[in-house]
Chain A
Amino acid sequence: MRIVFCGVGAVGSTAAMFCRNLPATLAFVDFDRVESKNLLAQAYTKPSLGKNKAEALKAQLLSFWGVKSEAFGVRVGKDNVEALCAPADLVVDAFDNLASRVVLSDFARAANKPLVHAAISGDGTFGLVRWDERFAPDAEDHAGQATCEGGEHLPMLGALGSALARVIQDFVKDGKRRDVMVSLSSVTTT
């Protein structure tokens, strides 16, 4: 099985760490680079500063646990989504913007490709994991809206990343497609 993580920021990088046990090839797609502000909200370590996030996650999985993976340091768009995601058995959306989520959904629906989304509120108090057939992406309230960087919401990011990893594990195991809501008080299958 091949699992392609699109976006390995706060939620994507955390979930990927918890998928390292899977009998699957993990592939990471992200054009962004690791900045110091990411260290308190994402799964990156200080030696990864300045590196492409996909490449950094690949290197960390290999050096920490001996897990081989693949990295693509590019921005996903209409022109390359098929090349990146067509070989996948499962596509994971952990992007941080509506436009990229739409690109993935359009591709997945046209190609009948399993796609699961994970998303978190700007104040870090609520998140959800939802399969594409029941998902509609949300826009920011305003451009440049503050996100949960800086570490204040790290436990919530851990809970949501973990919930996403569990949903992925269930799919790999027996094909189940569970949706999950994560709040400060509970993790609920919906």
Chain B
Amino acid sequence: MTILNITYNGYSADYPLDGDVRLADADVRRIAVEVVRAGGVRGLHVPELPENAFDHFVIDRFDEGARIYIRPKVPFG
């Protein structure tokens, strides 16, 4: 199982993806928009989330792709 962690507007939660999926970055962004709109991510329900909400977000992949993170850029310190 692949876990997609979505961070948006200061909140972060996991969303399990069925099967052994290999997702392109565009797929990750599209899925993130859909599940946040649908309320499928605990604590992250934004029905009117814009289509481009994650366009400038960073996608990190760890554990050989078993964990995927989509998060805001962090340029500052």
Contact = CB atoms under 8 A, between A and B. Distances in A.
B11 A183 contact: yes
Contacts of B58: 138
Residue from the set A95, A121, A134, A190 with the largest chain B CB neighbour count within 10 Å: A121
B72 interface: yes
Contacts of B10: 125-126, 183-185
A150 B62 CA distance: 35
Nearest to B14: A188
B74 A126 contact: yes
B63 to A, nearest CB: 10
Contacts of B69: 181, 190
Q: Is the interface of A mostly helix, strand, loop or mixed?
A: loop
Interface stretch (A9-17, A56-64, A74-82): A9-17
Interface stretch (A18-26, A107-115, A139-147, A166-174): A139-147
Interface string B9-23: 111100000000000
A132 interface: no
Interface residues of B, number: 19
Interface residues of A, number: 37
Contact of A11 (B11, B72, B77): B77
Interface in B36-77: 43, 56, 58, 62, 67, 69, 71-77
Contacts of B9: 125
Given A138-B58, A181-B7, A97 B75 contact: yes
Contact of A138 (B5, B12, B73): B73
A181 B75 contact: no
Interface in A129-169: 134, 137-141, 145, 147-148
B6 to A, nearest CB: 11
A11 B43 CA distance: 27
A122 B56 CA distance: 13
Given A126-B7, A183-B7, A190-B62, A140 B74 contact: no
Interface of A: 7, 9-12, 93-98, 118-123, 125-128, 134, 137-141, 145, 147-148, 181, 183-186, 188, 190
Interface of B: 5, 7, 9-12, 43, 56, 58, 62, 67, 69, 71-77
| Ranked 9 nearest A-B pairs via Cβ | A125-B10, A184-B10, A119-B74, A138-B73, A94-B77, A183-B12, A121-B72, A96-B77, A140-B75
